[in-house]
Amino acid sequence: MAIDLVSRKDWGARAPRGSYTTLTSTRGVKVHYTGGRVDPAIVNDHAKCVAMVKSIQNFHMDGNGWLDIAYSMVACPHRKVFVGRGPGHLPAANGPGLNSAHYAVLGLVGNSGLIEPSDEMLHGILDAIEYLRDKGGAGTEIKGHRDGYSTDCPGDALYAWVKKGAPRPGGQTGPPDPGPIEHPKFPGRPLKYPPVLRGDDVRTWQAQMAKRGFTLDVDGAYGAGSRDVCKEFQREQRLDADGVVGKITWDAAWEAPLA
């Protein structure tokens, strides 16, 4: 499913008060919750989600005096993803000195009322993360706000999901143990994204990357996350970091010494 993006124009965002600080890449993304009560009625009325995002922006700009809403992206219970500050822009949600390392994605749950994220919201958070990887150079890390900052955010439910590896609902709880894998013959096609490539050759390479200690979904789909792991591995091996698994990169996955 392609990301169901709600542009700033579509949700009626106010213009920022100044210029954003530019980000070209991050180590990854931190997940957040609102920290207050969320009306459970938003689950059945997307218009209430829109109103809530606008109210968060108003509070951040008028209450805190910030130049815009603090979050990079916001995911609601309908698997819709609102553009906050967006990719390439420094967020203001992670804490002093921590914003340049991770983008910030908010799930519309709180500490009372609606506290459990729906499967559709979790999908939306992951859609937002993939979008930030693709458009904003986000790395592979997925952490909670409380990782590195003293806060209850993103709440126990969301944080437990993050600690499990942020799996797609309905899928595996984490990358499976690939077991011993012999160096297979190069499959004959370069693995690159976009578009998303799928197949057993993709799964074989992903499993080998997981065996080498990289964090990625072993799902047989070569998307933005796999590409980012490929680039990281290529840089580690001093190869051209183009994100394409050609023969040299494929062979290195099995033959290069472990770091």
User: Spelled out in words, what is the top-level CATH class assigned to the domain 4-163?
Assistant: alpha beta
Residue with token string 């160096």: 183
Please report the pLDDT score of residue 2 as a whole number: 76
Question: Quick check: 232 pLDDT over 90?
Answer: yes
**What pTM value is reported for the model?**
0.67
pLDDT in tens, 153-174: 999 999 999 999 999 998 644 3
Token pair of 65 as six digits: 């005096």
Please report the pLDDT score of residue 170 as a whole number: 81
Of 114-123, 128-137, 184-193, 208-217, which gets the smallest average pLDDT? 184-193
Reported confidence tier of residue 258, pLDDT bands at 50, 70, 90: confident
Task: Please count the other Cβ atoms lying within 10 Å of the Cβ belonging to residue 27.
Answer: 14
Question: Quick check: 88 pLDDT over 90?
Answer: yes
Question: Quick check: 96 pLDDT over 80?
Answer: yes
Please report the pLDDT score of residue 1 as a whole number: 56
Of 29-38, 106-115, 163-172, which gets the smallest average pLDDT? 163-172
CATH of domain 175-259: 1.10.101.10
How large a percentage of the chain has pLDDT more than 90? 79
pLDDT in tens, 190-223: 999 998 888 888 989 999 999 888 999 988 899 9
Q: Calculate the average pLDDT of the chain.
A: 91
Question: Quick check: 183 pLDDT over 80?
Answer: no
What residue ranges do the domains of the chain occupy?
4-163, 175-259
Within the chain, residue ranges assigned H as helices are 8-11, 46-58, 119-136, 155-163, 200-211, 224-236, 247-255
Burial of residue 200 (CB within 10 Å: 0-12, 13-18, 19+) is exposed
pLDDT in tens, 51-83: 999 999 999 999 999 999 999 999 999 999 999
Closest CA to 90 of 19, 13, 153, 14: 19
Please report the pLDDT score of residue 259 as a whole number: 60
Cβ 153 vs Cβ 33: under 8 Å: yes
Please report the pLDDT score of residue 180 as a whole number: 47
Task: Taking residues 26-46, report their average pLDDT.
Answer: 95
Please report the pLDDT score of residue 99 as a whole number: 95
Question: Quick check: 178 pLDDT over 50?
Answer: no
Phi, psi of 32 (to 5 degrees): -130, 160
Reported confidence tier of residue 182, pLDDT bands at 50, 70, 90: low
